[in-house]
Chains A and B, each alone.
Chain A
Amino acid sequence: MDSLHAIGFYVSSGVLLIGGLGVALLPGRELRGAALAVVGVGLGGLYVSLAAGFAAVVALICYLACGALVAGPRYRSVEVVVGPLWRQVGALGAAGLLVVIIYAAFRGDFVTAKFFGGAFGVSAIGRLLFAHDALATEAVAALVLVSLAGATAVWRVRERAR
C-alpha cells in the first residue's frame, strides 16, 4: 500500500468515525441523517483506499439512502421505558466490546497475502455474487423484498388509520 492510499485510509477512517459519533450523539433527525451520509462518504473512501471500488460505490449509495431514511418525513419518535442504569450498563458493555475486539485485533496472528484483485473488480465480484454465492445474494434480495413490502404495508395501515 503506497502513501497516497495510506493517507486516504486514515483520512477516511477519521471521517467515518466522526460520522459514527455524530449518529450516536447529535440531536435531531436531520443532523443524524447527515451524519449517516458522512459515514457513507467515509466508508466509501475507506473501501477505495483498500482497493474495493465496487463495494465503495454500493456502500455510498446504501448509506446515503440510510441518511435519507433517517432524515425523512416518515420518521416517528418512539420512546422506550428503559432506566438510566441499564443504558449506562449497555454503554459500558459497548466499551468492553471495543476493548475485547481491539485486543483480539492487536494480538491476532494474521497471515499476510498479496492482493491480486483490481481496484474496482466488478466482474469478479459479479461472478462471485451471481454464480459462486448465489444463495447469499438471493437471501439478501429476499430481505430487501420483505423490508420494502413490510415498510409499504405498515405505511398504508398508518395512512388508513388517520
Chain B
Amino acid sequence: MSASLVAALFVAAALVAVGVFTAVWRRDVTAALGGIPLILGGAGVAFVGVARFAAAGSPHLFGQEFAVLLAIAAVALLALGLGIAGREGAR
C-alpha cells in the first residue's frame, strides 16, 4: 500500500470542489465563507504533494512553504470576511 502524487491530487481536487460547493450552495454569506479555507487547503495539499513526490531540483520544500502561507492566508481572509459580514448583519 502506498500513496502517490495522483492520490494527493485527487484529495486536493475533492477538497477544492467541496470548498467551491460550500461557497455557491450556502445561502448565508458567513456560512459560504467557510469554503475559503477548504479551497486554500486543497491548494496546499496539491503543493505539498508535488513537493513530496515530483519536485525537481533542490530544495524540495517550496510546496510546503506555500502551504504554510496559504494556511495563514486562509485564517486571515476568513477573519476579514466574517468581520465585514458581521457588520452587514448588524445593520
| B interface, over-half SS | helix
| In the complex, chain B residues whose CB is within 8 Å of the CB of A154 | 83-84, 86-87
Structural contact, B61 and A39, CB atoms closer than 8 A: no
Structural contact, A76 and B3, CB atoms closer than 8 A: no
Structural contact, B65 and A13, CB atoms closer than 8 A: no
CA distance A74 to B76 in the complex (A): 15
Minimum CB distance partner of A103 in chain B: B13
Among A55, A82, A147, A158, contact of B64 (Cβ-Cβ < 8 Å): A55
Q: In residues 42-87 of chain A, which contact B (Cβ within 8 Å)? A: 43, 46-47, 49-52, 54-55, 58-59, 62-63, 65-66, 69-70, 74-80, 82, 87
Q: A36-B34, A52-B51 are in contact. Are A46 and B45 (CB under 8 A)?
A: yes
Interface centre among B34, B58, B86 (most CB of A within 10 A): B34
CA distance A29 to B76 in the complex (A): 19
| In the complex, chain B residues whose CB is within 8 Å of the CB of A5 | 3
| In the complex, chain B residues whose CB is within 8 Å of the CB of A91 | 21, 24-25
Minimum CB distance partner of B69 in chain A: A140
CA distance A158 to B12 in the complex (A): 38
CA distance A87 to B83 in the complex (A): 24
Structural contact, A113 and B60, CB atoms closer than 8 A: yes
Structural contact, B6 and A105, CB atoms closer than 8 A: yes
Count chain A residues whose beta carbon lies closer than 8 angstroms to a beta carbon of B.
Answer: 87
Residues of B within 8 A of A (CB): 1-3, 5-31, 34-35, 37-38, 41, 44-45, 48-49, 51-56, 58-69, 71-80, 82-90
Question: Can you list the 8 inter-chain pairs with the closest CB atoms, starting with the nearest?
Answer: A90-B24, A76-B89, A151-B83, A98-B17, A105-B9, A101-B13, A147-B76, A147-B80
What are 19 A-to-B residue pairs whose CB atoms are below 8 Å?
A: A23-B35, A46-B48, A49-B3, A52-B67, A54-B64, A58-B72, A63-B37, A66-B34, A78-B30, A91-B21, A91-B24, A101-B13, A115-B60, A116-B59, A125-B65, A128-B59, A146-B80, A154-B84, A157-B87
Residues of A within 8 A of B (CB): 1-3, 5-7, 9-10, 13, 16-17, 20-21, 23-24, 29, 32, 36, 39, 43, 46-47, 49-52, 54-55, 58-59, 62-63, 65-66, 69-70, 74-80, 82, 87, 90-91, 93-95, 97-98, 101-102, 105-106, 108, 110-113, 115-117, 121, 124-125, 128-129, 133, 136-137, 140, 143-144, 146-148, 150-152, 154-155, 157-158, 161-162
